[in-house]
Amino acid sequence: MSSSSHVSQAPIPTSQHTRGNSMKALVSIGLAWAFDAMDFSILTFVLTDIMKDYGVALTLAAGVSSATTFARLGGGLLGGLMGDAWGRKISLVLSIVWFSVFEFLTGFSLGFTILYIVRILYGIGMGAMYANGTPMLMEMVPAKWRGFASGLMQSGFSFGYIFAAIIYRVWYGDLGWHAIFWIACIPALLVAIYIWAQLPESSRWQTERRDSRAHAVPVSHLFSGGQTWSTVHAAIIALVAFAITYPINVFYATLLKTGGHFNPEVVADTIIILNVAGIVGNLLGGWVSDLIGRRWTIILSSLGTIACSFVFQSIATDWERNVFTFLIGLFSIGGVWAAIPTYLAEHFRTTIRSTGQGTTYHFGAAVGGAVIPLIVSSIAPDVGGLGHAMTYAVAIASAVMVILVLLWGESKGTELR
């Protein structure tokens, strides 16, 4: 399929491409996603506290995170509808305020049921934030920067995990687990205020909204006007991208503890190496995608991931574990994901970009988060253990990604339509 089927060469108003607005959008929206990811990740540090305080098993405690992930799908759809109908800016600010409020209220959860409900409501805001922040950023930066902007924003999730670890380390011992949720909501609210005061609305959205005669609910447009294949392809791409990284994010720490019998310091250091590599890979992959294109960046990164996937079977040796943990983080969490935000944005026209990108991305997160860990854990006893299962899952998903990306036309350098 040629790239002409989903992008256009129509120019965007040049006022939107001023360096000042582009940089403001790059920094503020990138920080918004990082603080969103930070708020999401903090829960993983206090699962044992939740189990103890509320008297629930690990399965139920971990289920809170799964419920949040599923709620992100609903938030991606609802937030996308808002962004396409009302504008990117107001919908982005509202979504940040929404998830910040429920992050704050998490600290006041007096029972497990209340915690569960609050985190579901938090997930709606998290999904809506991505559905509006990513399209707005892609529309506000010049085409030549879009790949790097994509990588920088995607690195926010790794930064968020590191920020969460810092908050946990600094305040948990003195204040307890409830208080760190109260502290964590503050940075995102400050970013929301900045975006409201300093960022203009996307002129691409304003132009399309003014010129468009169609004011129907845009969700129906995802499967009309030649958009069906773009929507289906984007959803599958997101699912497979999560299938590459979910086995790593979910099981690697467990593998190090149970398979390698390493102490907490080695486990923490290895996970930090993984996330630092992800940040480097996001930034480098985004830059490379502006040089060689989205497709080849994802393809080469997927092939690199396949080549390094044996690391999960070779964790005993320090140098081998550290080197290949860095490399698989560089290629998978970094390189593969670096181009995904702009790659998905380039699947959809402006009038449905928030709805399309928000829904397809969070479809991948919800289904991948529910299905992939289940598959990996269920096949582990039959394939030689968790390390072998992780290797097979990551390698197979990476191979599928190569095939899928080859089915889509290159869109580097073209203007969003």
* Cβ density class 9-22: b for 16+ within 10 Å, e for less: eeebeeebbeeebb
* Whole-angstrom distance, CA of residue 212 vs CA of residue 58: 51
* DSSP letter (8 states) at residue 336: I
Residue 14 confidence (pLDDT) = 45
Whether residue 352 is predicted with pLDDT greater than 60 in this model: the reply is yes
- Beta strands per DSSP E along 311-372: none
Residue 215 confidence (pLDDT) = 53
Is 416 within a domain?
Answer: no
Residue 213 confidence (pLDDT) = 56
Q: Compute the CA torsion angle 218, 222, 225, 226 (nearest 10 deg).
A: 160
**In one letter, which amino acid is 22?**
S
Which pTM does this prediction carry?
A: 0.81
* Whole-angstrom distance, CA of residue 267 vs CA of residue 260: 9
pLDDT band at 408 (very low <50, low <70, confident <90, very high): confident
Is 411 within a domain?
Answer: no
Is 413 within a domain?
Answer: no
Residue 254 confidence (pLDDT) = 76
Is 393 within a domain?
Answer: yes
Is 174 within a domain?
Answer: yes
Is 328 within a domain?
Answer: yes
Q: Which tens digit of pLDDT belongs to each residue from 23-40?
A: 899 999 999 999 998 888
Instruction: Return the number of other C-beta atoms located less than 10 Å from residue 101's C-beta.
Output: 16
Which range marks the domain in which residue 217 is found? 3-406
Residue 318 confidence (pLDDT) = 85
Q: Which tens digit of pLDDT belongs to each residue from 149-174?
A: 889 988 988 888 888 888 888 888 88
* First-to-final CA distance of the chain: 17
Is 388 within a domain?
Answer: yes
- Average model confidence (pLDDT) across the chain: 85
Residue 16 confidence (pLDDT) = 44
CATH code, domain carrying 149 = 1.20.1250.20
Percent of the chain surpassing pLDDT 70: 92
Contact 253, 265 (CB under 8 A): no
Q: Which of 292, 355, 408, 289 is nearest to 6 (CA)?
A: 408
Q: Which tens digit of pLDDT belongs to each residue from 285-321?
A: 999 999 999 899 999 999 999 999 998 988 878 888 8
Q: In this predicted structure, which of 91-105, 222-236, 323-337, 402-416 has the lowest mean pLDDT?
A: 402-416
Q: What is the mean pLDDT of residues 31-57?
A: 85
Is 264 within a domain?
Answer: yes
Q: Which of 24, 127, 131 is nearest to 88 (CA)?
A: 131
Sign of the C-alpha dihedral, residues 387, 37, 187, 119?
negative
Q: In this predicted structure, which of 70-74, 99-103, 269-273 has the lowest mean pLDDT?
A: 269-273
pLDDT band at 93 (very low <50, low <70, confident <90, very high): very high
Contact 101, 185 (CB under 8 A): yes
Whether residue 19 is predicted with pLDDT greater than 90 in this model: the reply is no
Residue 172 confidence (pLDDT) = 84
Whether residue 11 is predicted with pLDDT greater than 50 in this model: the reply is no
Instruction: Measure CA 37 to chain center.
Output: 8
Percent of the chain surpassing pLDDT 90: 41
Residue 58 confidence (pLDDT) = 67
Total domains, the chain = 1
